Amino acid sequence: MNITGDISRREMLEWSTWGLTGAALTSLAQAGPRPPASHFPARAKRVVHVVLMGGLSHIDSFDYKPELEKFHGKPLQYKERPATFFNQIGLIRKNDWPFRQHGQSGLWVADLFPHLATCADELAVVRSMVSTSANHTPATFEELTGFQLNGFPTMGSWVSYGLGAETDNLPTYVVLPDARGYPAGGTINWSNGFLPSAHQGVAFGNGDQIIPDLNPAQPIPANTESASRRLLNALNLNDQDRFGTEDALAARMKSHELAARMQLTIPEVADMDRESAVTRESYGLNKNETKDFGRNCLMTRRLLEKGVRFVQLISGGSFGSPRINWDGHEDMRRNHNREAARIDQPVAALIKDLKARGMLEDTLILFTSEFGRTPFTQAGGSKLGTGRDHNMYGFSLWMAGGGAKGGTAYGSTDEIGWKAADKPVHWHDFHATVLHLLGMDHERLTFYHNGIQRRLTNVHGNVIKDIIS
C-alpha cells in the first residue's frame, strides 16, 4: 500500500478514517450534538420501544379471528404436527377477549386493551409477523438484535451509533426495566455487542443512584467536589503544556464537563413530582396495578423531551413460576389480564401525551413481543386447555407516531391465526422499516466486525412501505 500513489477507493476510506480522527475529536471537544447521519429525510427523530417479554397472544389482542369461534374445541386441521416449544397440542380455543372496532379507522382491538383501543387510529398493526425461534431468549435476541445468539448490538445501540445523541446531558439510549426485575439474560437485552461501549443501553433504576455512579458512592462536600473538578482541569492543562496537545486527551477534558451536566439533568428528569397531579393520574401513577409502568412511561416522555434518542421500556421479568411476564402457558385469562392491566393505560397515556405536545409526529413508538401464542391450547392429547404455547409462525406488533400509518393493519395470518398467510414480515423487515423511518438505509448503516460489515438486518430486510404514512 502506498499513500501517495494510486490507491483504491477502499484504502482511501481507510486512510481517511485515520485522517479524520482529529476532526472527529474536535467535534466532541466542541460538545455540540452531532447532526444525525441520515441517508434520506427522517420521519422520526426518536424511538420508544415497548418490549413485551414472554409472548403476547396476537389472537387475543390485535389479530381478530372470528373463525376461531367455529373451531373452538376442535382439533387442528393441519397435516404436519405443529412445532411448538412444549410439544403439547391441545384443541383450538377461541379468543378469550371479545374484539371491537375502534376509532374512525375501525381497527379491531380486543377488550384486553381498552385504553390502547382508544388510540386505534394511531396504530399501524402488522399482523403477519414471523420469527425463526420459538425459544424465549433466542427469539428475544432476534427481536432486539436480528440474531439469535448473544453478542450482537441491540436496536437501541444501532440507533445510538447511527444517529448519535441529541443531547449531551443524558445517555443516548435509556432502558427502563420492569419494576419486578430484569428480564432473562439481564443486561444482555441492551448490550452494545461489538459496537463501542458508548452505545450500550443505560438502565435507569429507582434507587438513589438512578444510573450507576451518577453521584459519589460516599458523600463529598459540594465545595470539595467543585474544587476537585477545577484542580483536575488545571492538572490536565498543565500536562498539555508540558507534553503537547493531543486530541484524545482534550476530548477527555471535555467529557468531565459533560458528566457534570448529566449529574444535574438526570435527577431532574426522574423527578415525577414536577408533573401535575392530572398528568400523573393519566399515566396511572395513583393506582397499584399501573403505578410502576405508568412511572416508566411518564419518565419516557420526560427523557424524550430532554433529547434521549431511544427508550426501551420493558414489560415483564424473567421466566419461571409464578409468572411475571406474558408467558401464558397455563391460564391465558389470568396471565394476560394481569399483564395488560399494568401497561394498557400507561402506554395509551404516553401516546396521547406525546400527541398533545406535538411530539408524536417525530417519535416512533414500537410495541413488540418476541413471538405470539398458538390458537390451540397447550394441553396433552385432545384437550381444551386454558393456556397457549409459543407461536413463531404468526403474530402481531404495532408502531405508532413518526411516519407510521395509523389506523391500519398490514398482512394477515391464516383463518385461525396460526401461521402468517398474506405478506409475512420478518424481524429484519421490521428493523429495516424502523431504520428507514429514522432516515437510515439499513443496508448502509454498517459496522465492521471480524470480517463483515455488520448490519442490524444481517443480509436481509425489506422496508414495509405500506405501513408508512
Partner 1 sequence: MRIFWSNILFAIAFAAPGFAAKKGGADWWSLQQVKRPELPPVKNAKWVRNPIDAFVLSRLEANGLLPAPEASRRTLIRRLSYDLTGLPPSPEEVQAFLTDKALNAYEKVVDRLLDSPHYGERWARHWLDVVHFGESHGFEYNQPRNNSWPYRNWVIRALNADIPYNRFVKMQIAGDMIEPGSADGIIALGCLVTGPHNTTRPSNDTMRKTMRQDEVEDLVGMVGQTFLGLTINCARCHDHKFDPISQKDYYAMAAALSGVNPGDRDLRGLANGADVAALQKLRAQESHWLKEITSIEDPVRNKLLKSAQKSGRKGPTPPRPDAAWNFTAGLTDTIGNLPVLLKGSAKQNVEGLILDGRGFATTKPLPFDIAEKTLEVWVKLKNLNQRGGGAITLQDNQGVVFDSIVFGEREPKRWMAGSNGFTRTKSFTGSEETKAANQPVHVAIVYRADGSITGYRDGKPYGKTYKTGFQKFSASTAHLAFGIRHGTGAGNNRMLNGFITGARFYARALSAKEIAASAGVGTITISERELATALTPTQREARAQHARQLVTVRSEIQAITAKAPQAARVYSVVSRNPEATQILDRGSVLKPIGAVMPAGIDAIKSVKSDFGLSNKASDGQRRKKLAEWITDPANPLFGRVMANRIWHYHFGAGLVNTPNDFGFSGTRPSHPDLLDHLANFFEEKKWSMKTLHRYIVTSATYRQDSRSNPEGMATDAGNRLIWRVSPRRLAAEELRDAMLAVSGQLNTQLGGAGYRDVREYKFKGSHFYDIIEQNKAEQFRRTIYRFSPRGARRNLLDTFDCPDSSALAPDRAATTTPLQSLALMNNRFVLSQSVFFAKRLSEDAGEDIRAQLTLAHELALNRPADPKELALAEAFIADHGLDAYCRVLFNTNAFLYVR
Looking at the Cβ atoms of 234 and 277, the one nearer to partner 1 is 234
Stretch that binds partner 1, among 8-16, 92-100, 287-295, 403-411 (CB under 8 A): 8-16
Binding residue for partner 1 (CB under 8 A) from 15, 106, 286, 305? 15
What gap in Å lies between CA 375 and CA 397, rounded to an integer?
A: 17
Q: Any contact of residue 19 with partner 1 (CB under 8 A)?
A: yes
Sequence-ordered strand ranges (E) for 157-295: 173-176, 202-203
Q: Any contact of residue 4 with partner 1 (CB under 8 A)?
A: yes
Q: Any contact of residue 320 with partner 1 (CB under 8 A)?
A: yes
Q: Whole-number minimum distance, CB 237 to partner 1, in Å?
A: 10
Q: Any contact of residue 382 with partner 1 (CB under 8 A)?
A: no
List b or e across 451-464, with b for residues whose CB sees 16 or more CB atoms inside 10 angstroms.
eeebbbbbeebebb
Q: Any contact of residue 402 with partner 1 (CB under 8 A)?
A: no
Q: Any contact of residue 252 with partner 1 (CB under 8 A)?
A: yes
Cell numbers placing 330: 397455563
Taking CB under 8 A as the criterion, which residues in 261-290 touch partner 1? 261-263
* Helix, strand, coil percentages for the chain (3-state, nearest 5): 40, 15, 45
Helix (H, G, I), strand (E, B) or coil at 214: coil
Assign residue 329 a region: left if phi > 0, alpha if psi is -120 to 50, beta otherwise? alpha
Q: Any contact of residue 101 with partner 1 (CB under 8 A)?
A: no
Stretch that binds partner 1, among 65-73, 297-305, 321-329, 357-365 (CB under 8 A): 321-329
Q: Quick check: 325 and 183 in contact, CB under 8 A?
A: yes
Helices and strands of the chain, counted as H and E runs? 11, 17
Looking at the Cβ atoms of 8 and 104, the one nearer to partner 1 is 8
Q: Any contact of residue 134 with partner 1 (CB under 8 A)?
A: yes
Q: Any contact of residue 28 with partner 1 (CB under 8 A)?
A: yes
Q: Whole-number minimum distance, CB 56 to partner 1, in Å?
A: 18
Cell numbers placing 12: 482511501
Helix (H, G, I), strand (E, B) or coil at 149: coil
Q: Any contact of residue 18 with partner 1 (CB under 8 A)?
A: yes
Looking at the Cβ atoms of 134 and 420, the one nearer to partner 1 is 134
What gap in Å lies between CA 433 and CA 438, rounded to an integer?
A: 9
Taking CB under 8 A as the criterion, which residues in 167-196 touch partner 1? 168, 171, 181-182, 184-188, 191-194, 196
Tell me how many residues contact partner 1 (CB under 8 A).
Answer: 128
Torsion of CA 393, 394, 397, 402, to 10 degrees: 90
Q: Any contact of residue 456 with partner 1 (CB under 8 A)?
A: no
Looking at the Cβ atoms of 27 and 412, the one nearer to partner 1 is 27
Q: Quick check: 172 and 165 in contact, CB under 8 A?
A: yes
> By rule CB under 8 A, what string of x and - marks binding of each residue 418-437 to partner 1?
--------------------
Looking at the Cβ atoms of 5 and 358, the one nearer to partner 1 is 5
Q: Whole-number minimum distance, CB 224 to partner 1, in Å?
A: 4
Looking at the Cβ atoms of 170 and 365, the one nearer to partner 1 is 170
Taking CB under 8 A as the criterion, which residues in 139-158 touch partner 1? 148-152
User: What's the first-to-final CA gap in the chain, in angstroms?
Assistant: 49
Cell numbers placing 193: 455487542
CA nearest to 395, candidates 420, 365, 423, 422 = 420
Cell numbers placing 215: 453521584
Q: Whole-number minimum distance, CB 103 to partner 1, in Å?
A: 37
Q: Quick check: 93 and 384 in contact, CB under 8 A?
A: yes
